[in-house]
Amino acid sequence: MVFPFNDIRDFKIEIPDEVEIFRKQVRQFVENELEPKAMEIEKTGVIPEELLQKGIELGFTGVGIPEEYDGQGGGAILTAVLMEELSRAVPAYGTALLVNGLFTYPVLKFGTEEQKRKYITPVARGEAFAAHASTEPGAGSDVAGIQTTAEKKGDKWVINGRKIFITGADKAKYLVVSARTSPPPDKRKRWWGLTVFIVETDWPGVKIGSKFDVMGLAGEHPNEVILDNVEVPEENVLQPINEGFKILVETYDHGRIGVAAQAVGIAQGAFEKAFNYSLQRFAFGRQIIAFEGVSFKLADMITSIEAARLLTYWAATLLDQGKEEAIFAASMAKTFATEVAERVANMAIKIHGGVGVDKETGVERYLRDAIITTIYEGTNDIQRLTTIRQLLKRALGIDVLMR
Ligand SMILES: Cc1cc2nc3c(=O)[nH]c(=O)nc-3n(C[C@H](O)[C@H](O)[C@H](O)COP(=O)(O)OP(=O)(O)OC[C@H]3O[C@@H](n4cnc5c(N)ncnc54)[C@H](O)[C@@H]3O)c2cc1C
C-alpha cells in the first residue's frame, strides 16, 4: 500500500505553530509593500533597494540558518512557506533573498567552524549577499562536465574558468565556486575530481560579467562570472577535495524544495487573479464563473495547487526530520509543482481572455516565471531521473548514478 515507502506514517506534514505566525507576518508585508511594487519591478527589472532592506530587517535572509550564526533558525518548512508567500506576489523577490541558501547550505554542511563564522553570519544578518556559481557553457545538467580548473600553487589554489546563469552574482560578496582539481579516474567516475571553494567577489581576477536577459523573474536576472587566475587560500576549500560533486548534488537535493515552494506561490498568485476576474467579468449577461468552461478550469487549478502544496510541505517535513526519503519527495515535488504552476498560469491567462495577454494586467508574467522554475536548480528531466533512481534504490536496492 505504501510502496515504495516503508510506513504509512511517512505521509505526514508537520507545521509548527510558529510557521503560521511567521506566514501571517510575511503575508502582511507582501500585501502592504511587495504587491504594490510588483508591476514596477516587472517593468524596470529592478527590485528597489528599500524593499530588499525591508526583507532583511524582517529576517528573511536568516531563515533556515541556525541562531548561533545569527540566523532565524527554522528548517525547510519555514523556508518553503516564506518562499511561497513571497512568490505569490513577486517570485524574483523570493529568489533574490533566498538564493543565498545555495551558498549557506554547503558551507553549513561541509564548512569548518571558521568558515561558518566568517561567511554565514554576515549572510544571515543580510550584511552580505552570496551566490552559487556552478553552471558553465558546457556543464548545466551535466555537472561533471565542469571545465573551470583549480590548480594548487604553493599554499593557494588558482581558479580559471567561466560560469553562466549565476543568480545574485551582481550583488554577491561571496560565491561558492565549483572547479576541477583532478582528472576523473575513468569514464564511469566522471563526477570525481571536482572541488568546491568559497570565493570573495572583490578578490583580484573575479569579474561579474553581463546579465542574461531571461524571459521571467524580472528583478533577479542571472549574470556571467569570470574567474581569471583567482587565488584562493587553502582555508577556503570546502572539504573533501575532489568530492565536490557530492556537495553540489546534496545542495540541489535540499534547494529544490524552495523551487517547488516558489512554483506553488506562483500558481497561487495566478489562481487568485483568475478567480477574482471570473467574478468581476460579465459576458452574455453573466459573471464568467457561471460558465462551466471557466469554473471547471478554476476547480482543476485549485485542486492541482493543493496537491502541489501537499507534496512540497511533505518533502520539507521529511527533510526537517532528516529522512533520506526527502530527496525522493523533493524531486517529485519540484517536478509536479513547477508543472502545475505552468498549467495554472496558462489557464489564468485564458480565463482573462484578451487582457490575459496584455502585459499591463500582470497575468502573463506568471507563466514566464513558472517556466523558469521548470528549468533552474535541475531541469524537470533531471528531477525525473532522480525520482526513478530513488525508486530503483528503494524498491530493488539498485544504486545507479544517473545525474
Ligand atoms: C534564471 C536562471 C537562474 C539560474 N541560476 C543559477 C545559479 O544561481 N547558479 C548556477 O550554478 N546555475 C544557475 N542556473 C543554471 C541552471 O541550473 C541550468 O540552466 C540548468 O541546470 C540546466 O542546465 P543547461 O541550461 O545547461 O541545460 P542542459 O543541461 O544543456 O539541458 C538541455 C536540455 O536537455 C535535457 N537533458 C540534459 N541532460 C539530460 C538527461 N541526462 N536526461 C534527460 N534530459 C536531459 C534538459 O532537461 C534540457 O531539456 C540558472 C538558470 C536560469 C535559467
Which of the residues are catalytic? Answer: 377
Q: Is 166 in the pocket of ligand 1 (CB under 6 A)?
A: yes
Candidate of 379, 386, 387, 388 to mutate for ligand 1, largest count of ligand atoms within 8 Å of Cβ: 379
The pLDDT value recorded for residue 401 is 61
Q: Is 372 in the pocket of ligand 1 (CB under 6 A)?
A: yes
Candidate of 87, 146, 165, 384 to mutate for ligand 1, largest count of ligand atoms within 8 Å of Cβ: 165
List the domains of the chain with CATH numbers. 8-125 (1.10.540.10), 130-211+220-242 (2.40.110.10), 246-396 (1.20.140.10)
Distance 71 CA to ligand 1 centre (A): 30
The atom of ligand 1 lying closest to the CA of 99 is 8
pLDDT one digit per residue (tens) for the chain, 403 residues: 478 888 888 899 999 999 999 999 999 999 999 999 999 999 999 999 999 999 999 999 999 999 999 999 999 999 999 999 999 999 999 999 999 999 999 999 999 999 999 999 999 999 999 999 999 999 999 999 999 999 999 999 999 999 999 999 999 999 999 999 999 999 889 999 999 999 999 999 999 999 999 999 999 999 999 999 999 999 999 999 999 999 999 999 999 999 999 999 999 999 999 999 999 999 999 999 999 999 999 999 999 999 999 999 999 999 999 998 999 999 999 999 999 999 999 999 999 999 999 999 999 999 999 999 999 999 999 999 999 999 999 888 888 764 4
Distance 320 CA to ligand 1 centre (A): 27
The atom of ligand 1 lying closest to the CA of 102 is 8
The atom of ligand 1 lying closest to the CA of 137 is 26
Q: Is 378 in the pocket of ligand 1 (CB under 6 A)?
A: yes
Q: Is 215 in the pocket of ligand 1 (CB under 6 A)?
A: no
The pLDDT value recorded for residue 362 is 96
Q: Is 135 in the pocket of ligand 1 (CB under 6 A)?
A: yes
Distance 50 CA to ligand 1 centre (A): 32
Cell of 166: 549565476
Name the pTM for this structure: 0.97
Cβ(132)–Cβ(250) below 8 Å: no
The residue whose CA has the least distance to atom 32 of ligand 1 is: 141
The pLDDT value recorded for residue 403 is 40
